[in-house]
Amino acid sequence: MPGTDPYVKVLDIEQTLADLNRAMDQLRRERDDLEIALTTAVEHGDAIEAQLELANRQLQREVRERRAIEVQLRQLVATISQKSRDLEVVLQTITEHSDQMDLHWLDRYRQSEDSARRDPLTGLANRRMLDERMADEWARARRQRQWLAMLLCDVDHFKTYNDLHGHQAGDDCLKRIAETLCQELHRHNDLIARYGGEEFVLLLPDTDEVGAQRVAESIQRAFEKAALPHENSPHGRITLSIGAAAMIPDEDDEGALFAEVDRRLYLAKQQGRNLIVASS
Amino acid sequence: MNALAGEGYEVEFRPDEDCVRMSGALRLGGLAEYAPISAMLEEALQGRERLVLDLTGLEFLNSSGIATLSRFVISARNHAQCGLVIRGSNEIAWQGKSLNNLKRLMPSLELRFD
């Protein structure tokens, strides 16, 4: 500025220098602050990076461990599933096997029960089955006030048949006699039993004395027609003596019917054999 | 030849024939009483490429017996190197269904019915 005092100029320069120094100090402080901030940011970033790296490694390790555990679990599940399937099959095998064994024993039991009630030679009912059926039929007939008939048949001169032909031939003859008797019974509830050596019993539910007499006559005709040879018989063939009786039971003891047919058979034998005695 | 026998039954292991034969009626009481037979069967599996279990003479086998056989078949399945053949009989009723069930445990099991 023209005409300005030189002392004022010096003062202005000093003032300016002082301002500049302050500004410089300010800038230095700011630079230092920025350096600190920058260092802090860099160090913080490194720390974060290190932490992330560590977390990443941990995560990868956990993933590997979890995959290994998953494989083990899959193997365990597969093993358990196999054992479960095995157990189911074993259980079914044992169950079905037990059922088979039950049937096996049941079959044996039935065979045993049946053979215990059958005459092994003729296949007819034996004394045991006759006694059981007799008790049942007697009770039923008594309850329902119905007739119950019985025929007791004895093969005439059978001892001499055995003496002449031997026991094997005698057994064969008894089988044929049994077959002939079976052909003469047609009702489901009728029963034929081998009562003794050459004695046979026919039990006829719901049959009166007239009916019993007719069955006995039918049997006699069947044997006449069959003409089973018996050289030592006066008729040259197998004949039967038959005692027949029927009752409407009025007491507990079914022995009364047995006794009556036995008595009538005795009469038939006494009167010459090959006869039917069907009334008192 | 190793053999186990009891009332009404016999179990024979014939190593030279690769064969275990069971016969008679096996009705031992529970798996514990079948343990000697199980041990014989396991022994027969070891180091063998093929084993024949002959049941054609085994007329009766109770539930513990079929359980023992089932466990043996599972064991044989896990011994993949040993092929197992079971011979049965069509004349013995229980064998048809039960032996076929064993095949479900070991699909490679070879069943032969005489």
Tokens linked to A141: 């007939």
* Cβ-defined contact of A97 to B104 (cutoff 8 Å): no
Is the pLDDT confidence value at B16 over 60?
A: yes
- Mean pLDDT of the B86-103 span: 91
Residue type, B43: E
pLDDT at A9: 78
Residue A203 structure tokens? 């039990």
pLDDT for A3 equals 56
pLDDT in tens, B25-62: 998 988 899 999 999 999 999 989 999 999 999 999 99
**Which position among A137, A184, A198, A254 bears the catalytic label?**
A198
The model's confidence at residue A237, banded by pLDDT at 50, 70 and 90, is very high
Under the banding of pLDDT at 50, 70 and 90, the label for residue A136 is very high
According to DSSP, the residues that pair with B10 across neighbouring strands are: B5, B23
Do B105 and A90 touch, CB atoms closer than 8 A?
yes
Q: Which fold has domain B2-113?
A: Transcription Regulator spoIIAA (3.30.750)
User: In whole angstroms, how large is the CA radius of gyration of chain B?
Assistant: 13
3-class secondary-structure state, position A252? coil
Q: What is the pLDDT of residue A102?
A: 85
Beta bridge partners of B5: B10
Query: Measured between CB atoms, does B101 come within 8 Å of chain A?
Result: yes
CATH superfamily of A127-277: Reverse transcriptase/Diguanylate cyclase domain (3.30.70.270)
Residue pair B27/B62 in contact by the 8 Å Cβ criterion: yes
End-to-end Cα distance, chain B: 24
The mean pLDDT of chain A is 93
Report ipTM (2 d.p.). 0.74
What is the per-residue pLDDT across A169-190, written as a single tens digit (0 to 9) for each? 999 999 999 999 999 998 999 9
For residue A105, what pLDDT is reported?
87
All structural domains of chain A with their residue ranges: 1-115, 127-277
Strand order from edge to edge, sheet including A276-277: A191-194, A199-205, A148-155, A240-247, A276-277
pLDDT of A11 reads 78
- Span A74-116, pLDDT tens digits: 999 999 999 999 998 998 889 889 888 888 888 888 899 889 9
Contacts A101 to B, Cβ<8 Å: 60-63, 94
* pLDDT given at position B111: 95
Is the pLDDT at A280 greater than 80, yes or no?
A: no
pLDDT of residue A4: 64
Q: Tally A–B CB contacts below 8 A.
A: 47
B:22-51 residues touching chain A, CB 8 A cutoff: none
One-letter identity of residue A113: E
- The ranges assigned to domains in chain B are 2-113
